[in-house]
Each structure stands twice: as structure tokens, then as C-alpha cells.
Amino acid sequence: MIKDKRLGFASIVVLATLAACGPSEPQAVKDDDPVATAPAEDVIGELPPPRTPTAATKAANQAIAERLPFDETSDWKDAERGFLASIEADAIRNADGDVVWSIPQFDFLDDDAPDTVNPSLWRQSQLAAKHGLFEVTEGIYQIRGYDLAVMTIISGETGWIIVDPLTAVETAAAALRLVNETLGERPVSAMIYTHSHVDHFGGARGILTDEGEQIPILAPVGFSESAVSENLLAGTHMGRRASLMFGNTIDRAPHAHVGSGLGPGLPNGTISLILPTEEVYGDGSPRTIDGVVFEFIDAAGTEAPAEFMFYLPETRALCTAEVATATLHNVLTPRGAKVRDARAWSKSIDRVLALYGDKSDVVFASHHWPTWGQENVSKFLERQRDIYRYIHDQTLRHANSGASQTEAAEAIEEASFQSEAFDTRGYYGTLNHNSKAVYQHYFGWWSGVPADYYALPRVETSERYVRAMGGAEQVLALAQASFAEGDYRWVAELLNHVVFAEPENVDARNWLAATYDQLGFQSESGAWRSYFLTAAQELRFGPPELEPLDSASAEFLRAVPSLDLFDALAARYDPDLLDRDPFAIEFTFTDTSETITLQINDAVIVPRDGGANDPLTSITMTRTDFDRLITRDVGAVRLVLTGRMKLEGDRDALTEMFDSLETPEFWFDIVEP
């Protein structure tokens, strides 16, 4: 349940939830964790210890090992090609000496795939963990393996053009140091964000450390709006789910997180945002940046609401951003976001294939490793185009024949080329989830079945199901029998009802955790694996007692437009907590020359640009101090006493309004009620 927490005026906290989406230090398994060293027998009633693969899981993973062409070596050659240098330290650290990214954290991947990991995911994780500075082609370099994403460095006439400065300030700064130490120090002459996801702009202030630096910062049209709306307005819920999806709170180990499929993982660093100096519509027209010719290609509404790819004609190099990478991506990410358009995604790739496929000697992206050779580039783009088209068309084919969302997803079998092309396999997105996303894109969340339209809440449904099946003990017995048969999806459904009906039922929690272990161990998707295994840990130990934010979130917040910031506050308004006639509060920010009015009505708060005719309360201060206030860097009393915050009118109304704003509990329950 979400806990009721009011938002006091003197301690307002806006969750700049890009920081919340970043990981905390991996939570170690407790000392009393009954870890087994020998596999458990699949016997009804015998609970397998944590970290233990069952016979069914071993068989499932062995079947993958026998079915896929693991003797294929081109990916290994590409992932290692052009290696120049790596970071020699044991870790990337922040200013306080805390570890942001441990360099050896994935060294265990040097071994053969264990029974606890799908061998296909193990292979992908091994490739993604290769770290260092690599040369892509003349004048183009990449930093890989120190973050979820990849940073690309292009040599301009006067300095480095940085493409996608990673997730965290610290990893971006370390990446730039490695570039300068290896290739010779040069200034940064331009920066490019390919799209509006945090792992591609969060490290910006690790690249541009001087507030006075004036360089071009280019992003696709709609970047600023998308970066704020996705990561601030919906950020608390999205960040909580991201903690499961990216395995932020579990070990980096063969029994836990081995990689996200898209990259090794998220760093535990400082999130920042520098807004672009220009948002560019990618129509393919040539554009020169520090002497380098770019041709930007619009890809909005594909992998991100705002995204572009680009072509560099002088080096015959194509950057596909995150539209085409070495995995099947998410049409709807498990962390939650606006559903993406698989048809537009496929068409966008087909467009660059038609325009640049026969002109490109190398294709590189914002994740993974490049592909070299014109023929290989074209084949890569064809496969990426076809996998999204396949999911789109087959989902609609089944839906138009009457299939529900779940039925359509279950009916879609692996495309024939997926058994040979590792870059189309579901290491991040999956056929099942992506098919459901296509269905949602066209038909919404509803299955079309009347009983689903106005269904009871999950807790109430679970309580009734458990009673109807004869009580918790009977359901547990049914689940144990299915567990012994390796029918883990059904076991999860059965036991989830018991846990939601009886959260304190230890047997049900332990068996459901064991079930999630097996589903995670078998998952080819790194996101699925981490979600299942983190859920198992939370069932055993509860959500982690970790602070999801730190004051460095101000690095993101200060770039947020003021109206968007007040929209985020308005989304936390509980009208039941305020008993007043409608009134207006006027904020004037002296450093940004802005005046914004909050109209507080019976049910909503409406932020509006401009002043009020007759505000009940007026506040004058700097936007900088307002940011510091809501991130707890300074208190309201101190601001008033020092004259940096001036209040006129009804102060009680102001206090009551702020007291009606809730701060949601970040670690709200997901795997239990």
C-alpha cells in the first residue's frame, strides 16, 4: 500500500526521479540467507533454497544452449575491434570517494554460463561487459562498458563532439578523461543528445563542468518536453519499477544481476541535465558541426518520443541511436512509459536502410558494439526492421481474428531469422511483452472481455480466489505440485493470489520467491531476469532500506522549466486535505523574470504562466532558491529571515496548500499488497 505522507512547506521534496531511477549500491544477500551449494530435488513440498536452479530450469537452459549457434564469432570480433585503452582504477568514484561504478563487478562473466543463467543472456552480458575506449573508424571513438549506455566521441576541427554523455556525471567525466589521456587532450566543441532517455543526457555536467561554457548542444525536436514529462511527472512510479527492471538492489553475480541486455547496468551516480541550445528536426539535410558534416534523420515516436539518428558522409558511418541496437528492444518498457509505435519503428529503420544502407561502411548505436562492412550493415538494418514489423503485423493478424492481448502474445512464435541473428533476440524487450504493447497501442489496456472492464482490485480478487479454491493451504498444495512439474508461470499466478490475500503467509512468500528464482534463471531478457530476481529478494527480505534520492538531484531539477515543475507539484495535490474556498498564489522568480500563478480549486491545482488579478498570497524569490528549498538544501524560515524569500498576504493559505501535497513513498510495495 502507498503510505500517506504529507508534503510540509518547509520540507518540500520534488522527486527528480531520474536520480531515483539510478541504482543504489547492490544490496548483499543477508548473512542468514540459507544458500544451498547442491541442487534441490524437485519433490512436492520441498522448498528449494535460494540461488538453486531446479531440474526444469537446467533443462530449459540446456535446450537454449543446444538450439542457438553459439559458435558464431562475429559479435566477439566486433565487440573487441578497435580497442585502445581501459580505465586502470578499480572503480569510478564520486567526490566523496563513494563507488559509482565498480570496474571488476562483472569479472565473473569470464566463466562459462552457469545453470542459474540463460546461456543466451550470458553471452550477451559477456559482450556488453567489454569495457574501454574503442576506435570505430577514423575520427570516431566509443566508450563502452562503464554505464548502461555508450558514449560516442567524434573528432571535430577544434575539439571533441560528444554524443550521448552517459547516465551519470561521474561516469561521463571518467570517460572523457580516458579519451583525453589516450588520444590527447582537446576541448569539447559540441554535444549531441540522440534522444530523451536519462542514460543519454544524465552525465552532461561531467562533460561541461564550466557554467560559462558556450557550445552547441543539439537534440531532437521535443527533447526538453519529453525528458521532463517522462522523468519528473511520472518518475516516482517509473523509478520504483526501474529498481526491479535494472536489478539495482541485487548482487552482480551468477545467481543475480548479470546485465540488462541493453548494457551492463546503471551507475550509482549524479544525474544532471543541460537543456539543448537547439532542437533539430532530422530531415536528412546536411549540417556542419565543428567541421564535421552530419545528416540527421528523425525517429520520433520510435524508441523514444524525441529521437534522431544521423549519418556522417565523410566517414560513411551511420549512427542508429537506440532505434537499432544488438537486441530486440522494448515497445513498452517494464519500468513504464508511453507505449511506442512498432510500425513507425520499423519504417524508420527501413528509411535509413534505403537512404544509407549502401553508403555505410559501419553502423554504431548508443548501446552495444558497431557492425562493420556495407553488406553486414544492410543485413543488420534489415533484421532490425523486420523484427518490429513482424511483431506489429502478427499481433494485428491475431487480434483482428478475435484474439485478446494475452492470446495474441502467446500465439506469436519466434521469427525464423531470430534463431540465427542474435541481435534480434529478446535480451531487453521480448516477443511476448512487445506483442502486448502493440495491442495496447491500438486497443488500449482492455482485453474486450466485459468481466475485465470493471474488475475488482487485486487484493479483493485474490482473497475471493483463495477462498473459492479451498483456502491458502489447498492453493499452496496445488502450487507445489505444479512447481515440481516445472510449470512456473502457473505457480506464480496461484501463489500471487495467496500472497495478496495473506501477505504474512511465510510459506506462500517463500514458494513464490522460489518460483520467481526459476523464472529469472530461465529468462533470456536481462530486464525480465532482474525483475523476477529482485521480486524474489523483496518477498524474502522486504524492499531495501535505501535512500532513493540525494541532494544532487538539483543538477536535474534546475534545468526543468518552472511550469513543468509546478505541474509536478500539482500532480501530488490531495483535495481532501485542504478545506478552503478557491484561491490563487502568485510566485515571482527574480532571476528568471517569471511570474507563475497557482489557482487552487476544489479538486485541482492549475499552474498558469503570468500573474493573478487578486492573489491571496504572493511569494518573491529566485528560482535557484526555490530549487534549493524543494531539495532541502535550505529551509523556508532561513530564506525568509535573510530576506531572500518575501511573503505577502495570507501565509496560512500558503502553508495549508503545501501541506495538501503528498510525497509518495518511493519503495511502495509491488510484489505484495
pLDDT digits (tens, 9 = 90+) for 180-209: 999 999 999 999 999 999 999 999 999 998
Q: Can you say how many angstroms the Cα of residue 596 is from the centroid of all Cα atoms in its chain?
A: 32
In DSSP terms, 286 is beta-bridged to: 295
Angle at 321 (CA atoms; ends 319, 325), nearest 5 degrees: 95
**pLDDT reading at 588 higher than 80:** yes
> Looking at residue 10, what is its pLDDT?
30
Q: Where does the pLDDT of residue 631 fall: very low under 50, low under 70, confident under 90, or very high at 90 and above? A: confident
Q: Is 381 helix (H, G, I), strand (E, B) or coil?
A: helix
Q: In the 8-state DSSP scheme, what is residue 661?
A: E
Q: What is the predicted pLDDT for the residue at 470?
A: 97
307-352 pLDDT, tens digit each = 999 999 999 999 999 999 999 999 999 998 889 999 999 999 999 9
Instruction: Tell me how far the alpha carbon of residue 243 is from its chain's centroid.
Output: 9
Please give the share of the chain, as a percent, with pLDDT higher than 90: 81
Half-sphere exposure of 339 (CA within 13 A, CB side): 17
Ramachandran category for residue 222: left, alpha or beta (phi over 0 → left; psi -120 to 50 → alpha): left
pLDDT value at residue 5: 38
Q: Under DSSP, is residue 90 helix (H, G, I), strand (E, B) or coil?
A: coil
What is the pLDDT, as a whole number, of residue 570? 94
Q: Residue 548: its pLDDT value, please? A: 61
Q: In which band, very low, low, confident or very high, does the pLDDT at 27 lie, cut at 50, 70 and 90?
A: very low
Q: Phi/psi of residue 577, each to 5°? A: -95, 5
Task: Return the pLDDT at 338.
Answer: 87
pLDDT band at 253 (very low <50, low <70, confident <90, very high): very high
Which one, of 476, 513, 518, lies nearest residue 55 by Cα?
518
SS3 state at 128: helix
Task: Tell me what pLDDT residue 312 has.
Answer: 98
Share the mean pLDDT of the chain. Answer: 91
Radius of gyration for the alpha carbons in the chain, expressed in angstroms and rounded: 26
Amino acid, res. 537: Q
CA distances (Å), origin 19, targets 484, 548, 620, 666: 41, 7, 29, 12
According to DSSP H, which parts of 404-525 are helical? 405-411, 431-443, 450-453, 458-468, 472-484, 488-501, 506-522
Ramachandran quadrant class, 359 (left: phi over 0; alpha: psi -120 to 50; beta: rest): alpha
Predicted TM-score of the model (pTM): 0.91
For the stretch 499-553, pLDDT in tens is 999 999 999 999 999 999 999 999 999 999 999 999 999 999 999 887 664 434 6
231 band by pLDDT with thresholds 50, 70 and 90: low
More confident site: 179 or 556: 179
CA distances from 526 to 123, 485, 521 (A): 11, 25, 10
- In the block, cell 491545482 appears at 605
Between these two residues, 635 and 575, which has the higher pLDDT value?
575
Residue 22 carries which DSSP code?
S
- pLDDT cut 70: percent of the chain above it: 91
Measured at the CA of 565, the angle between CA 560 and CA 568, to 5 degrees, comes to 130
Q: Is the pLDDT of residue 19 over 60?
A: no
Contacts of 33 (CB under 8 A, 6+ apart): 50, 540
Contact assessment for residue 312 and residue 140, using Cβ atoms and an 8 Å cutoff: yes
The one-letter amino acid at 440: Q
Q: The C-alpha cell of 222 is what?
A: 521535443
